[in-house]
Structure 1
Amino acid sequence: MNQLYAEAGVKRKDTTATLALRFLMFVGIIIGFIAMFLGQIFSIVGIAMVVVLFYLLPRLNVEYEYVFVDGQLDFDKIMGKAKRKQILRIDFEQVEIMAPINSHALDSYNHVQMDKKDFSSGTKESKPYVIIANVDNKKYRILFEPSEKMIGMIKQKSPRKLSPY
């Protein structure tokens, strides 16, 4: 039994909006602690604020993991290095093309209306790939950063779907 298996993962770069939200959450936690000492009704509100913000704060730390197994590619979102959620699963029979983001093979898809999914790190040094796929009667444009091993496995399983340039 010769199964093709590869996995890769990236940490999502913090955007300015994420950093601002994280700062506001810290300010909210401080205000919540101060409110706990002001009085009875304020202490209940302060405790609620602190608990909710401590619950939400780790969710701003996002990583994506890709798992390729025998022609299926899973995209998982990991929040706070603890909670994993499967976002999307595609079968390579549903894929029209996979190519590097700058590839001219994607030019014919630039003006087509489709849902965009970004599972890349968002850094300047990254070299993301794009997958154009039809999943559940919806057309998706998926950005992700596969490892070299994963690209090799995809090329071995579906060579006509992968455009090298």
Structure 2
Amino acid sequence: MDTYVEYSYKMDVSLRQKLFRALLIALAVIFGFYSIFVPIFIPVTLLWIVLAVYYQRSLNCEYEYILCDNELQIDRIINKAKRKHVETFNMDQLEAMEVAKPHFFEDYKDKKVKVRRFYSSYNDDQVYGLMLKAGGLYTCLMLQANDKLVNALTLRYPHALRKEA
């Protein structure tokens, strides 16, 4: 059975990232002002401006999920131009899937679970928890997904779907 589903969403910018961007801009302005009086600061000012521009571009990013047969690929698209592969997950290792709520982790509280978060507060789609087991290691993917992606996963892996309590 062939399955191919794409889903993408815009990532939100954290407060720390906004503050760092403001710091870069402030340093560029301060050194720009000082370079009027001390010309040696002109290269330093240009450096801060270039850093601020590149950092601003990196804040404009999206994540994209591609479910192709039994693999879920997660890619990061920076400034709608540059694509970076984040990770690939083998969905044959899917053990459980349901809407992410606190009780989702109850069955795994005595096990070591690595949690990977791939969701945004900008998007209104539901966040799902997918528990994958590779050997003795558990990985919980917290994904934002639309109905098309959820339906593709439930059709392909009906054993993993848990109904909401």
State the TM-score bracket (shorter-chain normalisation): 0.7 to 0.9
Q: Give, in whole Å, the separation in 2 of the partners of 1:136 and 1:48.
A: 48
Give a deviation string over 1:99-156, Cα, whole Å, max 9, x none.
Answer: 1102745421245332221110135844200111235874322111111111111111
Q: CA deviation at 1:9?
A: 1.3
Aligned AA (1:71):
N
Does the aligned pair in 2 maintain the 1:22–1:60 contact within 8 Å? Answer: no
Are 2:5 and 1:11 aligned?
no
Does the aligned pair in 2 maintain the 1:105–1:163 contact within 8 Å? Answer: no
Partner SS for 1:3:
coil
Does the aligned pair in 1 maintain the 2:113–2:140 contact within 8 Å? Answer: yes
Are 2:120 and 1:121 aligned?
yes
Q: Give, in whole Å, the separation in 2 of the partners of 1:146 and 1:124.
A: 10
Tell me the equivalent position of 2:28.
29
Does the aligned pair in 2 maintain the 1:28–1:53 contact within 8 Å? Answer: no
Q: Give, in whole Å, the separation in 2 of the partners of 1:6 and 1:117.
A: 20
Moved more, 111-120 or 66-75: 111-120
Q: CA deviation at 1:87?
A: 1.1
TM-score normalised per structure 1: 0.83
Are 2:61 and 1:62 aligned?
yes
Cα pair distance change 1:82/1:37, threshold 3 Å: farther
Residues matched between the structures, number: 164
User: Quick check: which one's helix share is greater?
Assistant: 2
Give a deviation string over 1:8-67, Cα, whole Å, max 9, x none.
Answer: 112122222222222222223323433444434211211222222212221122321111
Does the aligned pair in 1 maintain the 2:72–2:88 contact within 8 Å? Answer: yes
Tell me the equivalent position of 1:92.
91
Q: Give, in whole Å, the separation in 2 of the partners of 1:136 and 1:49.
A: 47
Moved more, 6-15 or 129-138: 129-138
Q: Give, in whole Å, the separation in 2 of the partners of 1:162 and 1:35.
A: 62
Aligned AA (2:158):
P
Aligned AA (2:130):
I
Query: RMSD of the alignment, in Å?
Result: 2.5
Tell me the equivalent position of 1:152.
151
Q: Which stretches in structure 2 are left out of the alignment for 5+ residues?
A: none
Tell me the equivalent position of 1:53.
52
Moved more, 151-160 or 54-63: 54-63
Q: Give, in whole Å, the separation in 2 of the partners of 1:57 and 1:163.
A: 41
